[in-house]
Amino acid sequence: MLICYRFAGDIALNNQKLRIGIVVGEVSGDTLGVKLMRRFQELGIDAEFEGVGGPQMIAAGLQSFYPMDIFSKMGIVEVLKDLKKFFAIRDDLVNRWAKKPIDIFIGIDAPDFNLRLSKSIKQHHLPTKTVQYVSPSVWAWRQGRVYGIKESIDLVLCLFPFEKAFYQKFDVPAAFVGHPLATELPLDNPIGLAKQALGLSVQQRHIALLPGSRQGEVERLGPMLLDAAQILHHKYPDDLFIIPAINAARQQQIAELLKPYPTSLKDRVLLLENQSAESSIGRQVMDAANIVALASGTATLEAMLMHRPMVSFYKLNWLSYVIIKFLVKIPYYSLPNIIAGKRVIKELIQREATAENLAAEIERLMDIEVGQIQTMQFKTLHKKLLAGSSEDPAVAVLNLLNIQPQQN
């Protein structure tokens, strides 16, 4: 099959490849990135990808100049400590693309880095369009950032419809592309099949414990999770706790945290590691769990769309928290609550994020009626995300470049 292209505007590649720069900062971004790369291929676009990505994107052909874990720091104070390193990475990428220009830069999540990189691209007058895929939470806090986004970003790809509406108020080009998980995860999702996929007993109660995918998160939140597991183990000795690890390094880190605990608890903890770049052990574990306890973030949306009862938590450096608390403009931190506009899951943040509080909420969710109420709310929110019309993210990017693939 011969693929021909029609290019408009300043881009005229003829038979050359479209050069796309991508930078992602975490596992969820790696997943979005690889889906976007594959979508370009499905549309017949001959493209090459370079920047920073994770194992899925690298396996799909991305040339990654730095390991994705380079962006593993969380919190304002934590990032400030490594600011010089991040500036050096930004400058290196800009220099690379000044010498060998890319046609478009797509920053996927990691807004603190990617928005600065896009700004630098504009300041250096590189012939490069800029896209931010996954809007920063500008609608929630630090709303003044929208003016910087307007100057440095040519298009924002939004996962939720309320984000596009926000940008429209400020005349920022934005497309609602929907969250891929909303269509990928089914409305009917029997837990028994998920348990069987992991070789687990359908009759056994499983509690998923997810401290996050970053080294700092595991270090900060892992002990609290294990302490909560110890509390619950005394009362429910037959329950099994499952902890996913994105890679061997995280598995080793969690295993080290487990060492001081009694053998009786360690025998009830199943530590599972990703087996390949294509697998998502975190999602598999949440899907097979009767109750999910997880760090606040994108994973809360996954658990919601799998309709699993959950509690979220998070704890930052105290100074980071004080600053963020002052700047946040919405009452919730987790996506299920933000989407619903009300509290549907418990959020244990900072001082409330204790082993005792976590164990108490997990125990409350063991009540069948409590769990069912939450599950019904999740299904309603799932349908809400499916109801909105959305654009294809790859097509939105091509439209920005005035590229129309034609197949003969």
Q: What CATH number is given to the structural domain containing 397?
A: 3.40.50.2000
pLDDT attached to residue 317: 76
What is the domain range of residue 63?
3-178+390-407
Both 195 and 293 in one domain: the answer is yes
Confidence of residue 384 (pLDDT cuts 50, 70, 90): confident
pLDDT attached to residue 277: 55
pLDDT attached to residue 73: 56
pLDDT attached to residue 141: 74
User: Of 5 and 294, which is predicted with more confidence?
Assistant: 294
Both 64 and 131 in one domain: the answer is yes
Q: Domain count for the chain, please give it.
A: 2
C-alpha span between 71 and 81 (Å, rounded): 12
Confidence of residue 72 (pLDDT cuts 50, 70, 90): low
Confidence of residue 179 (pLDDT cuts 50, 70, 90): confident
Percent of the chain with pLDDT over 70: 90
Both 61 and 128 in one domain: the answer is yes
Tens-digit pLDDT profile for residues 237-267: 999 999 999 889 999 999 999 999 999 999 9
Highest mean pLDDT among 73-77, 218-222, 390-394: 218-222
Both 188 and 314 in one domain: the answer is yes
Q: Is the pLDDT of residue 12 over 80?
A: no
Both 148 and 236 in one domain: the answer is no
Best CA proximity match to 65, nearest among 39, 94, 36: 94
pLDDT attached to residue 271: 95
- Residue 193 structure tokens: 């099949």
Both 350 and 374 in one domain: the answer is yes
Q: Is the pLDDT of residue 60 over 90?
A: yes
pLDDT attached to residue 388: 65
Both 207 and 135 in one domain: the answer is no
Q: Is the pLDDT of residue 188 over 50?
A: yes
Both 148 and 291 in one domain: the answer is no
Percent of the chain with pLDDT over 90: 68
Q: Which of 82-91, 130-139, 286-295, 322-331 is the least confident region?
A: 322-331
Residue matched to tokens 């080793």:
252
C-alpha span between 141 and 119 (Å, rounded): 20
Burial 297-323 (b: 16+ CB within 10 A, else e): bbbbbbbbbbbbbbbbbbbbbeebbeb
Both 204 and 166 in one domain: the answer is no
Both 193 and 328 in one domain: the answer is yes
Q: Is the pLDDT of residue 14 over 50?
A: no
Average of per-residue pLDDT across 265-283: 84
Both 272 and 150 in one domain: the answer is no
Average of per-residue pLDDT across 208-221: 91
Both 371 and 398 in one domain: the answer is no
